[in-house]
């Protein structure tokens, strides 16, 4: 008896353990690259990018090891690394897919200025005319040099009443447009990007993030004492972390100054696309079960593996097909969105393996290859497109060129590679829609809950259907009216005949 009971007991415990273990192993199964579906569920996808090579100081044969590099800039086939800790800029040339060679090391420049050295350069940009713009953060200036490193001019602290005399100017990130106007992200300036005209005059602030108004806090402030007020956070716009100017001259800006609850309530946008007036024109049309798909990185912000909170987007870059990628320094992930704000892929993570980061800080691209700079590892990771990624980009390119049939076929191949890739279904649907195959397009949109595109297809389908069946529709409507009318008429006639005196004999 005792044996039987203990056996049942062990069996029960074993079953319990098995149940628990099977559940946990299922939950932890996440691939290197993933995506979110309509329901916000994580869907593993094939790799979109794979790390081709990781370059450290040793691989690059540098005389001095990189020291806390802060920025990366790509111009044609040259890669510039801001070796901030060593006060210099390293120019690398990409000679083949997997090799970077040191071209020159820029430590000083020539010209008519006292201080010809950098102090902690954090970013640079090269204009169309070939002039160098360097954010010399430690010296509080933005330098403009010609391509032979001769000094041309500086952009200094903006003369604005809102900036006190005691504030030091610390330009950290810069972008330059085609007319050599400079837009700068500076530490402590939260009114947006500092804009300079080409001649160096300060032209105002561009694209301040709108202030989040909190009614509860407003009420609190009404009753708070002076001491409490000073301890409270003030309503100020958030600073940008980084900016990127795309091929059309729009500025993509991102900020890591976000709070979880603001993101979830849709009060702040960490990624913005600014037009000339500084208005946010980023499209957020992704399909999601509650509203539009959020462009703020990871949807789930729970803690795990020592990381918690929202994605902290620290750098952004945009390809010529309007796909933009942001870099999350919190979990070391890359998020890529297409021009409609739909998530293309998420990859990366924290760690020491190739393709994982410890403290990523900079992101740029060459063609469709991505370069990620890690300030703690002092390494540059080069990502190249996989076959899967190339398929997706090809399908998008074909669609934009108007080759809808080919685009549909390419998306079909994407579906074969990954049946959980929502964008592929919508891509096939959009291609079918342009080919006027409305019914098939509707089926694809319905599969992935794309109600906007479904409605577009259905509207056309309905129109065509009505036009084809107009005769039947008219007949049915007439019948609906005429049949009861005739029946009524006949009945009343019968009644009249029956009750009429004329027929009474």
Partner 1 sequence: MFASLTSKDKWQRYLKSLKFALYCISHPLDGFWDLTHEKRGTYAAANTILIVSLIIRIMKLRFTSFIFIQVYWEELNILTYIASIVLPLLLFVVGNWALTTLFDGKGRLGQVYMATCYAITPYPLIQLPLMIFSNFVTVDEAEFYSAMSLISLIWIAFIAIMGMSQVHEYSFGKNILFLVATLFAMLVMVFILMLFFSMVSQGVAYFISVGKELLYRM
Q: Residues in the site for partner 1, rule: CB under 8 A?
A: 2, 5-6, 9, 38-39, 289, 446, 449, 451-452, 454-456, 458-459, 462
Angle between helices 451-468 and 438-447 in degrees, nearest 10? 150
Closest CA to 157 of 181, 180, 184: 184
Q: How far is the CB of 395 from partner 1 (least distance, A)?
A: 24
Tokens of 230: 């000073």
Q: How far is the CB of 291 from partner 1 (least distance, A)?
A: 12
Q: Which is nearer to partner 1, 34 or 73 (CB)?
A: 34
Q: How far is the CB of 302 from partner 1 (least distance, A)?
A: 19
Angstrom distance (rounded) from CA 174 to CA 210: 21
Q: How far is the CB of 424 from partner 1 (least distance, A)?
A: 19
Closest CA to 271 of 292, 288, 256: 256
Distances (CA, A) of 467 to 292, 462, 463: 34, 9, 6
Q: Which is nearer to partner 1, 462 or 494 (CB)?
A: 462
Q: How far is the CB of 289 from partner 1 (least distance, A)?
A: 6
Q: Which is nearer to partner 1, 141 or 284 (CB)?
A: 284
DSSP, res 207 = -
Angstrom distance (rounded) from CA 388 to CA 393: 9
Q: How far is the CB of 10 from partner 1 (least distance, A)?
A: 9
Q: Which is nearer to partner 1, 80 or 454 (CB)?
A: 454
Angstrom distance (rounded) from CA 128 to CA 167: 32
Sheet holding 141-145, edge to edge: 121-126, 132-136, 141-145, 151-155
Q: Which is nearer to partner 1, 257 or 340 (CB)?
A: 340
Q: How far is the CB of 228 from partner 1 (least distance, A)?
A: 38
Angstrom distance (rounded) from CA 183 to CA 133: 11
Cβ proximity of 357 and 377 under 8 Å:
yes
Angstrom distance (rounded) from CA 503 to CA 284: 79
Look at strands 242-245 and 202-206 and give their pairing: unpaired
Q: Which is nearer to partner 1, 202 or 465 (CB)?
A: 465
Q: Which is nearer to partner 1, 11 or 487 (CB)?
A: 11
Q: Which is nearer to partner 1, 407 or 453 (CB)?
A: 453
Q: How far is the CB of 451 from partner 1 (least distance, A)?
A: 5
């Amino acid at each position: 008896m005792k044996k039987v009971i203990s056996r049942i007991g062990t069996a029960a415990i074993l079953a319990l353990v098995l149940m628990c273990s099977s559940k946990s192993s299922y939950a932890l199964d996440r691939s290197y690259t993933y995506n979110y579906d309509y329901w916000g569920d994580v869907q593993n996808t094939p790799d979109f990018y794979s790390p081709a090579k990781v370059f450290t100081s040793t691989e690059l044969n540098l005389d001095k090891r990189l020291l806390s590099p802060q920025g990366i800039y790509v111009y044609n086939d040259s890669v510039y690394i801001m070796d901030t800790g060593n006060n210099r800029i390293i120019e690398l040339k990409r000679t083949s897919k997997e090799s970077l060679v040191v071209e020159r090391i820029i430590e000083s420049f020539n010209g008519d200025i006292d201080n010809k050295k950098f102090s902690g350069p954090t970013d640079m940009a090269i204009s169309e005319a070939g002039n160098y713009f360097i954010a010399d953060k430690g010296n509080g200036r933005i330098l403009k040099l010609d391509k032979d490193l001769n000094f041309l001019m500086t952009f200094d602290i903006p003369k604005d009443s809102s900036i006190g005399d005691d504030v030091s100017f610390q330009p950290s990130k810069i972008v330059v447009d085609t007319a050599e106007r400079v837009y700068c992200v500076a530490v402590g300036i939260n009114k947006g990007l500092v804009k300079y005209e080409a001649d160096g005059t300060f032209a105002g602030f561009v694209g301040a993030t709108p202030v989040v108004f909190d009614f509860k806090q407003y009420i609190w402030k009404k009753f708070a004492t002076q001491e409490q007020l000073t301890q409270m956070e003030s309503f100020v716009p958030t600073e940008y972390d980084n900016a990127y100017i795309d091929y059309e001259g729009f500025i993509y800006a991102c900020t890591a100054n976000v709070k979880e609850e603001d993101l979830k309530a849709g009060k702040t946008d960490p990624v913005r696309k600014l037009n000339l007036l500084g208005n946010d024109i980023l499209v957020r049309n992704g399909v999601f079960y509650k509203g539009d798909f959020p462009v703020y990185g990871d949807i789930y912000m729970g803690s795990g593996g020592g990381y918690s909170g929202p994605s902290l987007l620290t750098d952004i870059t945009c390809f010529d097909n309007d796909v933009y990628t942001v870099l999350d320094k919190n979990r070391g992930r890359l998020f890529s969105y297409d021009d409609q704000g739909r998530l293309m892929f998420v990859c990366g993570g924290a760690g020491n393996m190739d393709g994982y980061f410890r403290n990523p800080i900079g992101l740029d691209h060459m063609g469709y290859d991505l370069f990620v700079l890690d300030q703690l590892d002092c390494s540059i990771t080069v990502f190249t497109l996989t076959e899967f990624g190339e398929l997706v980009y090809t399908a998008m390119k074909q669609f934009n060129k108007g080759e809808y049939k080919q685009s549909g076929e390419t998306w079909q191949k994407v579906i074969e590679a990954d049946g959980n890739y929502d964008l592929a279904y919508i891509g096939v649907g959009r291609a079918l829609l342009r080919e006027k195959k409305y019914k098939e397009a509707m089926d694809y949109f319905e599969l992935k809950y794309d109600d906007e595109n479904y409605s577009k297809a259905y509207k056309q389908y309905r129109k065509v259907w009505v036009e084809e069946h107009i005769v039947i529709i008219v007949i049915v409507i007439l019948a609906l009216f005429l049949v009861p009318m005739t029946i009524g008429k006949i009945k009343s006639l019968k009644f009249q005949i029956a009750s009429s005196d004329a027929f009474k004999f």
